[in-house]
Structure 1
Amino acid sequence: RLDPFRDFFARFYKGVDGLFKVSANSDANIFLLDSERIAVAAFNSCDRNDCFSMQGAISKDELARCHLDLHDSGKTFALRIAVWHHNIEGPPHRSDYMDVDTVRSMIGKNFRLGLHGHQHKAQAEPQHIYLPDRETMAVVSAGSLCAGEKELPRGVNRQYNIIEIDDDYLAATVHIREMGIVNVFNPALLHSLGGVSYVKIQWGTPKTSVGSMAHPIVEMEQQLIQNAERMLMTGNPLAAIDLLTPMKESINGYARRLYVQAASEAKMWAEIIAVTAIPQSIEELAIRIEACNKSGKFDQAKIALDQFGAQLHAPAALVRDLKSKINAEQAMRS
């Protein structure tokens, strides 16, 4: 039944680089977004579904295998998102929806945002599981962008969602767009949302295997630092810089030290000058002066030494040595 879709899937992703685990024959494909901070698992919710059995279902084996793939990757994800087709509730005379216990299984595997369709209308709600502490997953339904009059519920127009995830990966804003006139979409002012076009959703922080509170962003940064250190120690400073670049705006501590050292080994003098505008250590001051010397910016080197040498309590012998290097480099250039 799914052969036409699988053929299309294979053609669509043929030649696409950077896919985590994607196969036309898989019922659980995994994609990575936001510099690998977000894992998106796309599930087939038509397991055992046919003309005699209309309800949605996701294979427990596929769900477990997806969880192991994410775990065994060694990566720390700030957010895990699950995507499937069927809604998780419906009216008494319908059976074409998915058992909500499947979503609870996803929560136990640290998924915190679920996206689905099928019911042709926008909806956002929290789902809870007690493990024994309450953990939360936000489930968002998208309206249909292309359904016709017969498929759309009464009073519902064509819709789509824009999901804006907060910087801490613990909440998001769902913006709902609805077609007002032909092919023109506007913010949907829905009565179910209090007459606004958006809704704020939140979810709980994942727990570790021993039940303590996980800190995925901190763990992810620590993992990046460890990988960058390994790249630098094995003689690949450019790879270390690539790994640390997402942290560049607020880089500090050991990560900053690695970044400056890697830039020095890669002879990225302009980058060093930009990052070390305010040196945080004597070592960083010395590297900044070297970068200024190599770039021919001797005035900046002298200003940095005069301004920050005393602030950082640089030894007098080191200050004399750095001044000599500035003067010698300047003399050679002239």
Structure 2
Amino acid sequence: MKISIMHISDLHRDPKNPISNEALFNSLIQDVENSAAEDPPIPPPQIIIVSGDIIQGTGKDAKKPDEVLLEQYEQAEQFLGALADRLLNGNRQRIVIVPGNHDINFSKMFSALKEINYATVDEKKRYELAGLICASQSKFRWSWGEFKLYEITDDTLYEERLAEFIAFYDRFYGGTRTYPSDPTQQFDIFDFSELELIVVGFNSCFLNDPWNRQGAIHPRAFSQACDELRKRQFRGRLRLAVWHHSTKGAPRQDDYMDTDFLQQLVNHGYSLGFHGHQHKPELIDEKFAFGGDRKVNALSASTLAGGERALAPGGTRGYNRVVLDTDEWQVELHARQMANPDFLNPIWVKSFLPNQKSFQSFELQQPRPVDPSAIASQDLPEAEKLLREKRNEEAAVILEPLAPLHDMAKRLLLQAFVGCNNNEGIIRCFAEPFSPEEIIAVCDALWEKGQRDALRVILARPVVAEHQDPSVVHIRTKLLGRLGE
């Protein structure tokens, strides 16, 4: 199966180069049409990934920042909605969105701070404060521009610095998805079951603000997302992750994530990651450092609509097209770049990668094989609980894939099918009956469904014809009489 993904990032539009929705939308649609005729052709996207920085945002002293942000998000919503309508048959659930540092309301962030007059603090206290500034998840902020020290004193207001993004997210998905304000819950799972693919969107702006610029995902958010993926419906799926910040930077930069995050992705079975922030395309091949041969590949996209000042040195606007082949377990990364100098009306073309080609192929890490014994230990207790609650149909859904592998699951499945009068299920799963309970259930089901010839075959089998259990003898005699034999 081939899966085509459009990866766009850093949509923030420079006020000095205010490209319109119409021009940006038309340029991408034209490129989708053009690239379908290239060699190799790029299929139209089935999924669109937006890896943060949806808007330009505002500065510390902006007038009416809430209104400005609302206007920017409305523009972004119209643009992304138009892409969904044209490329995804209007299905917004096929667009994966995460926040970036530009999506933060800096005015709310600054309102959550209180200045600390360190000049009046004794030397011992200053030493303690210096350590607290650099501590993990510190609530202290140092402003080099002002040479002032601040402390976050209103945690609720500080967390509301993403309130406008959260409102945009809820509107965009029509309330079918909501984005929590609690950093420990800031992830979302997009399940593409027909593609056997799952995408998890993370917020890499945990504690991120202008005076604490590094990217981070709350540890509990990451852990809870990984635990969710252990659920039955997600097993065996190809796992993709999306976040905003890059995982490396230049020596004088501080606005990137700890590279250990990629090791965490490998450890938890992710195959691909998508991010932006650094405004240039890049492919990272990260091997697991602690044994085994698993890996993850991280793909970075350039800025889609940033102005000249937002471009990386020597870089251009750009975005990525990614094609996954889950039959051959290969990936094609196609980087696209703006070729013309008109920032208000871009033309997208192939971007030649370091391999001197317009695309780069690499191996796609396969999902981990599912361990049947681990599945049984997780699912059997849940199925037994459902049976006790007389929720037989739900229990049968859990038990049917386990029945060929586990005797207890097989016995419980028969109980579930009998409990909900599922004769089709009994005939399908117990066509080779062995125990008295199975023989009786299959014979009754075949009689009820009018499958007389199949019933005669079952009754003639030695396991039934020679069975000495009184209940089997009784059902055999009764049914043979009905069949006139």
Given the alignment, which residue of 394, 401, 416 partners 1:239?
394
Residue 5 (structure 1) shift: 1.6
Given the alignment, which residue of 390, 408, 412 partners 1:258?
412
Distance (Å, rounded) in 2 between the aligned partners of 1:225 and 1:193? 53
Distance (Å, rounded) in 2 between the aligned partners of 1:260 and 1:268? 9
Determine if the alignment matches structure 1 residue 83 to structure 2 residue 242: yes
Residue 291 (structure 1) shift: 0.3
Given the alignment, which residue of 460, 463, 484 partners 1:309?
463
Determine if the alignment matches structure 1 residue 45 to structure 2 residue 204: yes
Which digits, 9 at most, give the CA deviation of each residue in 1:75-122, with x for residues without a partner? 5875776431112124456554322134446667x4644623214425
Determine if the alignment matches structure 1 residue 322 to structure 2 residue 478: no
1:7, 1:24 within 8 Å by CA — same for their partners in 2? no
Change (3 A) 1:321 1:192: farther
Distance (Å, rounded) in 2 between the aligned partners of 1:192 and 1:233? 61
| More contact order relative to length (CA 8 Å, sep ≥ 6) | 2
1:107, 1:135 within 8 Å by CA — same for their partners in 2? no
What letter is aligned with 1:261?
A: Q
Residue 260 (structure 1) shift: 2.8
Distance (Å, rounded) in 2 between the aligned partners of 1:176 and 1:160? 6
1:302, 1:323 within 8 Å by CA — same for their partners in 2? no
Distance (Å, rounded) in 1 between the aligned partners of 2:412 and 2:468? 23
TM-score w.r.t. length of structure 2 = 0.49
Given the alignment, which residue of 425, 441, 444 partners 1:290?
444
**Equivalent position of 2:164 in the other structure:** 4
**Equivalent position of 1:200 in the other structure:** 363
Point out the more displaced range, 76-85 or 272-281.
76-85
What letter is aligned with 1:100?
A: T
Residue 297 (structure 1) shift: 1.6
1:266-285 correspondence to structure 2 within 5 Å: 266-285=420-439
What letter is aligned with 2:202?
A: F
2:402, 2:409 within 8 Å by CA — same for their partners in 1? no
Change (3 A) 1:126 1:296: same
Which digits, 9 at most, give the CA deviation of each residue in 1:224-258, with x for residues without a partner? 2221122123322111023235x279665332332
**Equivalent position of 1:208 in the other structure:** none
Which digits, 9 at most, give the CA deviation of each residue in 1:278-324, with x for residues without a partner? 335443232211100111222211111213536x9633756542332
Residue 158 (structure 1) shift: 3.2
Given the alignment, which residue of 239, 250, 258 partners 1:99?
258
1:43, 1:58 within 8 Å by CA — same for their partners in 2? no
Determine if the alignment matches structure 1 residue 126 to structure 2 residue 312: no
Distance (Å, rounded) in 1 between the aligned partners of 2:325 and 2:180? 29
What letter is aligned with 2:171?
A: R
Residue 273 (structure 1) shift: 1.6
Change (3 A) 1:125 1:293: same
Matched pairs, number: 305
Change (3 A) 1:48 1:32: closer
Determine if the alignment matches structure 1 residue 160 to structure 2 residue 321: yes
Distance (Å, rounded) in 2 between the aligned partners of 1:172 and 1:317? 55
**Equivalent position of 1:67 in the other structure:** 223
1:144, 1:160 within 8 Å by CA — same for their partners in 2? no
1:42, 1:82 within 8 Å by CA — same for their partners in 2? yes
Distance (Å, rounded) in 2 between the aligned partners of 1:306 and 1:297? 15
Distance (Å, rounded) in 1 between the aligned partners of 2:332 and 2:226? 29
Distance (Å, rounded) in 2 between the aligned partners of 1:239 and 1:145? 46
Distance (Å, rounded) in 2 between the aligned partners of 1:273 and 1:218? 26
TM-score w.r.t. length of structure 1 = 0.67
Distance (Å, rounded) in 1 between the aligned partners of 2:409 and 2:219? 36
Describe the SS at the equivalent of 1:57: coil
Where does structure 1 lack aligned partners over 5 or more consecutive residues? 206-213
Given the alignment, which residue of 23, 39, 44 partners 2:179?
23
Distance (Å, rounded) in 1 between the aligned partners of 2:348 and 2:438? 55
